[in-house]
Structure 1
Amino acid sequence: MAIEYGLNEEQEMLKKMARDFFAKECPMTTVRKLMAHETGFSPELWKKMSELGWLGLVFPEEYGGSGMSFRDMTILLEEMGRIVLPSPYISTLLMVGMPVLAFGTKEQKDELLPKIAKGEVVCTLAALEEDGDWWADSINLRADRRGDQYIINGTKLFVPDARAANYMLVAARTKRTENPEEGITLFLLDTKEVWGTVSTRLKTMDETRKQYEVVFMNVPVPAKNILGELHNGWPIMKQIALNTTAALCAEMVGAGEKVLEMTVAYLKERVAFGVVIGSFQALQHRAADLVIGLEYSRSLMEWAAEAIKEGDPDVATAVSMAKSFCGDTCKKVVAEGIQMHGGIGFTWDHDMHLYFKRVWASDTAFGDGIYHRELIAKTLDEIHQLAGGGRWMKMPGRTSPTG
C-alpha cells in the first residue's frame, strides 16, 4: 500500500496558490519563449516569485525567509514540474542557498541569503567534470593556495544557469590523497568580482534548462570564500545531492501527473473507427498502470522529503529509493503519454516532448536509477556485514552474496 502523508491546510493553500500563479504567469507559450532566450528564465517572473516568499521559503525569517520546511518546498516544486518551469530555482536554492544556510559562516549567510530571498541574485553549482558523474574521484579542477587566496584552474561541465548566475559554488581539488573524498573544497565565487571564467552554452536534451561549460583560467578566490572546512567539502556535496535529488523527484512527479491528465483528456476526446479511443480496454489498462506508478512515486517522494525535513538517519536510502522509482516511472509515463497521443504527440508544436525531455534530463541529473540502486545495494551490503553475514560481491548487472 502506498504511504499517504497528506497536506495540511497551509500546504493546500500553497499548492493552489502556486498552480494558479504559474497558470497565469507562465503558460506554455511563455515557456517556449524562454526556451529561446539566452539565459532561459524571466527576471520579472523571478521577482514575482520572491514577492510571494518562494525564493526564501526554507530560510529563517532573519534572512528574509518564510521559515517553512523542505516538505513545503516539494509542493512548490511539483507545481513547477507541471508547467516545466524554466527557472534557476533549483540551482539557486537547492544547490547554493540551502548549503550556505547549513554550512556557511555568519558573514556568508548575511551576504547571500537575503539577496536570494529578495530575488536579487541567481546562483549555481559547478561540480561535474569530464566524467559527468557524481563520484568524488571525478573532481579534478585544481585550487592552489597563494597567500590569502586560491587560484582555480580547470573546466566544469553541465553547469546550470551559469550565464545568469551572480554567485557560483565551485567544487575544487585542494589536496591529493588516497581517499578521493578527502581534499575537496567548495568555493563561493561572486561572478562580478572574479575574472578568468569563460562560459559556453551546451546543447542538451532539455532546452528549458540552460547548461554550460565553464572554464576557469587562473581565477583568484579569497580563502574567506571557502564554504565549510578546507579539504572537507565532500560531505556538503553529498547533502547538496540529497536535497537536489529529492527536489527533482518532486518535479518529475508533478510533470508525470500533468502528462497523465493530458493523456486521459486526449483519450476521452479522440475519435477513431467511429468511437472514442478511451473506450478501448487496452488503453484503459495502460492509463491505469500509469496512475498506480505515479501513486507509488508520490509516496516515495514524500517519504524522502519528510526524511530530509526530520533529519532521518535513513535519509540517503529514502532519497535513492525515490529517485530510482520516480525516474523509471515518470520516464515511462511521458513515453506512454506520447505514444497514446499518436502522431500529434511527436510534433514540435505539441507540449508532450517538453515533458519528455524534462523528465529524462531530471532522471539523469544527480544519478539515474542504476546509480541509485547501486547506492542502495551498498547500504544493504553494509547492513549485511554488520549483521555478521558474508561479504557481497559486485557482479556485472547485479549483486550476489558470497558468504
Structure 2
Amino acid sequence: MDFAFDEDQEELRRTVRAFLEATAPEAETRRTMETEAGYDQALWRRMGSELGLQGLAIPEEHGGAGAGPVEVGLVMEEMGRAMLCAPYLASAVQATTALLHSDDEEARTELLPALAAGEQVATLALTEDSARWNREGVTLTARAGADGGWLLDGHKTFVLDGAQADVVLTVARATDGIGIFLVAGDAPGLTRTTLPTLDLTRRQARLEYRDVPARRLRTRGDGWELVEVVLRHSAVALAAEQVGVASRALEMAVEYAKVRHQFGRAIGSFQAVKHLLADSLMEVESARAAAYAALLSAQNGEGDLPMAASLAKSLCSDASVKVTQDNIQVHGGIGFTWEHPAHLYFKRAKTSQLLLGDSAYHRELLAQAIGV
C-alpha cells in the first residue's frame, strides 16, 4: 500500500498548519475553551469561507470541494497538533458522513451548503447513559406524529457539541427499526445541557427529548447500517487526530529534553530519557501507519474498512495516551502544572481514547471482523 500523499494533499497540510499556527496558538485555545460556545465562531466561519475545510468531503454541487476521507484526515491530524477547539469531528465528519451516505437528497440539498460554508454546525446524537456504541444501546424512541412527522422521547448523552449544534442527527428506535432523525437545535421539548468533562477543548452535552418534533432521514436500508458507516469514518478521522496529538506531544518532549539540564548535561543525554523518547517515536510512527492505512481504505471504499477503522482507533488511542503521558514525564514537575500545555494534550488523548468506544471495544470488533 502506498502511503505517499500527492502534492495537493501536502499543500493542504501545510496550509492548514500555517493557518492554525497563526489563528489558534495555545493562548487562543485556553481563551476559547472557557467561552460558552467552546469554540470561536468567527474562526469557524473563516475555516469555511477561506479554506473550505468543513466542506472538504462535500460534493461541489452542495458547496464543497469534493475531496475525501484522506483530506479530512490530514486536516484532523493538524487540528490535533494545534489542540483546536472546534466542532469539526461532530459536524464535518459525523453529521456530514451521515448525510452523504443517506438516501435523502432533499436533506443534503437543505443542509450541506450551510455546513460546508461554516454557517451552521450539526452533530450526531447516539450514546445514552449506558455509554454503548452498538445497536442495543439505543433506547430513545420515535413515534409517528399526526402531521406525518415524528416525535422523539428519551435522552442522549456525551453528544459532541450537542449544546451548540444547529441540527442534531438523532439515532432513535422506531417500530420498524433504528432510524436517524433530523432535529433542530432549538426544537420545542429539547433540553441541552453542557457536561463537565476532562477535556475542556471538546464540548459534550446531554440532550433530553420530550415529544420533540423530528424528520426522518431516508436511508437505503435499516438506519443502523448508516450509523455503522458513520462510526467507522469517525473512528478513522479521530485516529488521524490522535496521531497529531501524539506527534506534537513527542516534539514537545524532545525539545524540552534538549534544553533542560541536570548535573551539567541535557536530560536528553541520559539513557532513561533516550529510551523513553525512542519508545514514544515508535508509538507515533506505528499509529501514523495504522491511521493512514485506514484513511486510504475509507477513501477507496475498500471492504476492509471495518477492520482498518477498529485497528487504527485502538492503536492510535493507546499510542496517544502513552506518548502524552511520557511528555509529562519528561517535563517533570512543570508538566503537571496548569500553565504548561502538556496536560491539555493528555486530556484530549484520554477522552479521545474513550470516544467512539475504547481500545478494548475496538479490539473486540477487530477480532469479530477477522473471525477470531
TM-score class, shorter-chain normalisation, is: over 0.9
Hey, what does 2:252 align to over in structure 1? 262
**Equivalent of residue 323 in structure 1, options 313, 319, 326:** 313
Q: What amino acid does structure 2 have at the position aligned with 1:11?
A: Q
Contact 2:190 2:207 survives alignment (8 Å): yes
Q: Give the superposition deviation at 1:231.
A: 8.0
Query: Secondary structure, in 3 states, of the residue corresponding to 1:214?
Result: strand
Kindly indicate whether residue 202 of structure 2 is the aligned counterpart of residue 209 of structure 1.
yes
* TM-superposition CA deviations, 1:166-188 (whole Å, max 9, x none): 1000011112xxxxxx7111101
Which residue pairs with 1:116 in the alignment?
115
Query: Which consecutive residues of structure 1, in runs of 5 or more, have no partner in the other structure?
Result: 176-181, 385-403
Match of 1:388 in 2: none
Please give the residue correspondences for 1:345-364 in structure 2 after superposition, counting only pairs within 5 Å.
345-364=335-354
Counterpart check, 1:96 vs 2:89: no
TM-score (norm 1): 0.89
Pair 1:59 & 2:58 matched: yes
Q: 1:71 corresponds to which residue?
A: 70
Structure-1 separation of matches of 2:139 and 2:119: 32
CA displacement at 1:163 relative to structure 2: 2.0
Matched with 2:31 is 33
Of the three residues 185, 193, 196, the one matched with 1:191 is 185
Q: 1:245 — aligned with what?
A: 235
User: Percent identity at matched positions?
Assistant: 38
Counterpart-to-counterpart distance in 1, 2:352 and 2:78: 15
Shift of 1:105: 1.7
Say which SS state the counterpart of residue 165 (structure 2) adopts.
Answer: coil
Output the TM-score relative to the length of structure 2: 0.97
Query: Residue type of the partner of 1:287?
Result: L
**Distance in 2, Cα, partners of 1:155 & 1:314:** 33
| Superimposed CA distance per residue, residues 83-129 of structure 1 (whole angstroms, 9 cap, x where no aligned partner) | 11110111001111121122142211110011111111011111110
Alpha-carbon shift at residue 219 of structure 1 (Å): 0.9
What corresponds to 1:396 in structure 2?
Answer: none
Partner deviation per Cα, 1:114-169 (whole Å, 9 max, x = no partner): 11111110111111101012011110001111331211111111111122111000
User: Could you tell me which residue of structure 2 aligns to residue 298 of structure 1?
Assistant: 288
Residues 174, 231 of structure 1: 8 Å contact kept: no
Give the partner amino acid of 1:324: S
Based on CA coordinates, which of the two structures has the bigger radius of gyration?
1
- C-alpha separation between the residues in 2 aligned to 1:370 and 1:74? 23
AA aligned to 2:17 is R
| Pair 1:235-2:233 in alignment | no
TM superposition shift of 1:230: 9.2
Question: Are the equivalent residues in 1 in contact too, given 2:103–2:219 (CA < 8 A)?
Answer: no
Contact 1:34 1:42 in 2 (8 A): yes
Measure the CA separation in 2 of the matches of 1:188 and 1:76: 27
> Secondary structure of 2:66's match?
coil
Residue 10 of structure 2 is matched in structure 1 by: 12
Deviating above 2 A after TM superposition, structure 1's stretches of 4 or more consecutive aligned residues are 228-231
RMSD value, Cα = 1.4
Tell me the secondary structure at the aligned position of residue 103 of structure 1: coil
8 Å CA contact 1:185, 1:230 repeated in 2 = no
Query: Is the contact between residue 157 and residue 213 of structure 1 (CA under 8 Å) also seen in structure 2?
Result: yes
Deviation at 1:72, TM superposition (A): 1.1
Q: Amino acid of the residue matched to residue 149 of structure 1?
A: G
Aligned twin of 2:138: 139
8 Å CA contact 1:4, 1:299 repeated in 2: no
Q: Aligned equivalents of 1:292 and 1:4: distance in 2?
A: 20
Residue 12 of structure 1: CA displacement? 1.2
Contact kept, 8 Å, 1:95 with 1:125, in 2: the verdict is yes
